[in-house]
Amino acid sequence: MGLYQIVEAFLLMTNAVAILNEDRFLAPYGLGMADMGNGRVSPFKSQLIGLIHAVQYLRGRGFQAG
C-alpha cells in the first residue's frame, strides 16, 4: 500500500464523516451535539463527537484562511 493510497483513503474517510447529516445519521447513534450536553458521555465518545463536528465545520468553511 503506497503513500498515495493512504492519503486518498484518509481524504475519502474525512469527506464521508463531513457529509453526515446530524439529525438523520448521528443522533440515532448518540453522536449529536445534544448528546454531549447531558454530561453522561464517555470521554472517547465526546472526542469523537468533537472530531466529527470540527470536520463538518472546516468543510463548511472550505478551509479558507482569514
Cβ–Cβ under 8 Å, residues 13 and 34: no
Query: Vertex 43, ends 61 and 7: CA angle to 5°?
Result: 45
pLDDT band at 36 (very low <50, low <70, confident <90, very high): confident
Predicted local confidence at residue 65, as pLDDT: 52
Cβ–Cβ under 8 Å, residues 26 and 20: yes
Mean pLDDT, residues 2-6: 93
DSSP 50: H
Residue spans per domain, the chain? 3-61
- Higher pLDDT: 3 or 13? It is 3
Cβ–Cβ under 8 Å, residues 8 and 15: no
Mean pLDDT, residues 6-10: 92
Against a cut of 0.75, is the pTM above it? no
- Res. 21: pLDDT tops 90: no
DSSP 29: G
